[in-house]
Amino acid sequence: MKQQAIHIIFFLLLFYSGYGQLHSDTIRLNLQQVVEMSKLKSIASKQALTTRETKYWEYRTHRSNYQPQLSLNGILPGYNKTFTEVQQPDGTILFQSIHNNNSSLDLSFSQTITATGGTVFGTTQLQRFDDFDRKNILYNSVPFGIGYNQPLFQFNSLKWDKKIEPLKFNESKQAYIESMEQIAITANGYFFDLLLAQVNLQIAETNLANTQKIQQIANEKYDLGKISKNEILQLQLEQLKAQKAVGIAKRDKEIATLNLRAYTGLQNTDEVALFIPHATINMLVTADKVLEEAYENRSDAIAFVRRMAEAQRDIAKAKGDNGLNASLTAQIGFSKSAVTVPGVYRSPQNQQEVQLVFAIPILDWGRSKSRTKTAEATLQFTAYAVEQDKQIFTQQIVTQVTLFEMMKEQLTLTASADSIASEKYQIAKDRYVLGNLSITDLSIAFQEKDQAKRDYIAALRDFWGAYYQLRYLSLYDFEKKQKIVYR
């Protein structure tokens, strides 16, 4: 009893010593941790974040077009000393000296009107002219001026941008979420690449150890004359194959580890060991629910609306850019000239300006009609393309839901097959040791056991890949029953 207690204590010390070494030299990760690391640290996540920020500032730029604009323009100084030609009354030319300073300041504001496409503007100006040759100073000012410019029969880009740009911005926000979910899909692939490599290495090392043990038993049987030389040679060949498999498995594991580190941004040099993910997810998935969330959340669904709006905008532009184009400008205010600054602001004079600029094509050989018809044909083509993309979009989701259900069934079957193959191999190994099973049947049991384990890992990979694909297609978390959002 005392000796048994000593053995137990020794085992526990050995276990905790090994555990401490594993803990200090190995980082153990599950699938969810790898996915989260990829979303936080990978280059792909940083690129997605940068793209989102770029789209945000582009939208802010668009919004600024509808806000009042205030600007200060000026020429300070406007010094000039030169000779210039001056035509005389008799037609001759004289070069006269010019030595002056012509400086000005202009403070102006403008506000666009979305509904009409026009612009309200206002200004206040002050100008100073110094004639150094004649030693005089003159001031001119526009204390206050306000006006309105209205394009007539022209394309109103402000109205269409106000409709389309918010769609683009919302599309970019959802595209960012899709990018993060795509990272999860990619990380899932790297995770299972390494997991399969680790499982293959474990299988190869176990097979090598078992082969060596069986080789020892076979050698004893051979010495007793119970088995043939051919069977010994076959076992030696199996051992060489097992040694080769270990080398290949180690190489594949190193490559898969490097790929996982590179993608997830894992910087430390600890050994990476992965937990095998669980085979069940507490979630209920129906095609109708996935479709409902997809049409609410996906950037593609927003793009369907945006593409049609852009095609309609192009028709409006084609019609607005053809035919009669005119612009009406009206301005009222005050102006005054004086030799002092206070003087230009005393009793300023009224000033008014009305201007209508127009262009009417007389003969364009059908260019206007051709542009409009081209835009209309493009709209029709876009409508067909959007309808086709909607069908593909819907079919892709329905297919993925079906695949997810199939993957769950396949995972259950491969788990059972793995368990059966492991038990069958153990029985085959015991029978061979007892001498009532051939080396050929043992090799078959070897292969079936290994293949069943690999099939199970592959089924796990397909199952979790289908899970993350569903999240990507719907942007909906079916476990938490809420929309996926990233801040």
Q: Indicate if 36 and 142 belong to the same structural domain.
A: no
- pLDDT, mean of each 10-residue run, the chain (487 residues): 36 35 69 94 94 95 93 93 88 89 95 93 94 90 93 91 95 95 96 93 85 77 73 80 89 93 84 88 89 94 95 91 86 90 88 89 82 92 95 94 90 86 81 71 76 88 93 93 89
Three-class DSSP labels, the chain: CHHHHHHHHHHHHHHHHHHHHHHHHEEEECHHHHHHHHHHHCHHHHHHHHHHHHHHHHHHHHHHCCCCEEEEEEECCCEEEEEEEEECCCCCEEEEEEEEEEEEEEEEEEEECCCCCCEEEEEEEEEEEEECCCCEEEEEEEEEEEEEEEEECCCCHHHHHHHHHHHHHHHHHHHHHHHHHHHHHHHHHHHHHHHHHHHHHHHHHHHHHHHHHHHHHHHHHHHCCCCCHHHHHHHHHHHHHHHHHHHHHHHHHHHHHHHHHHHHCCCCCCEEEECCCCCCCCCCCCHHHHHHHHHHHCHHHHHHHHHHHHHHHHHHHHHHCCCCEEEEEEEEEEEEEECCHHHHCCCCEEEEEEEEEEECCCCCCCHHHHHHHHHHHHHHHHHHHHHHHHHHHHHHHHHHHHHHHHHHHHHHHHHHHHHHHHHHHHHHHHHHHHCCCCHHHHHHHHHHHHHHHHHHHHHHHHHHHHHHHHHHHHCEECCCCEECCCC
pLDDT at 17: 37
The domain containing residue 130 runs over which residues?
Answer: 68-113+118-154+324-360
Q: Indicate if 171 and 149 belong to the same structural domain.
A: no
Is there a domain that residue 319 lies in?
no
Q: Indicate if 303 and 207 belong to the same structural domain.
A: yes
What pTM does this model have? 0.81
Burial of 284 (0-12, 13-18, 19+ CB in 10 A): exposed
Q: Indicate if 443 and 412 belong to the same structural domain.
A: yes
Q: Indicate if 275 and 401 belong to the same structural domain.
A: yes
Q: Indicate if 43 and 170 belong to the same structural domain.
A: yes
Is there a domain that residue 316 lies in?
no
pLDDT at 432: 67
pLDDT at 90: 87
Q: Indicate if 57 and 78 belong to the same structural domain.
A: no
Is there a domain that residue 250 lies in?
yes
Q: Indicate if 164 and 219 belong to the same structural domain.
A: yes
Count of domains for the chain: 2
Q: Indicate if 96 and 143 belong to the same structural domain.
A: yes
Is there a domain that residue 17 lies in?
no
pLDDT at 439: 64
Q: Indicate if 443 and 466 belong to the same structural domain.
A: yes
pLDDT at 428: 78
Q: Which of 264, 197, 183, 243 is nearest to 472 (CA)?
A: 183
Q: Indicate if 414 and 354 belong to the same structural domain.
A: no
Is there a domain that residue 314 lies in?
no
**Cα–Cα dist 156/134, whole Å:** 52
**Cα–Cα dist 324/308, whole Å:** 27
Q: Indicate if 229 and 305 belong to the same structural domain.
A: yes
- 333 forms beta bridges with 145, 351
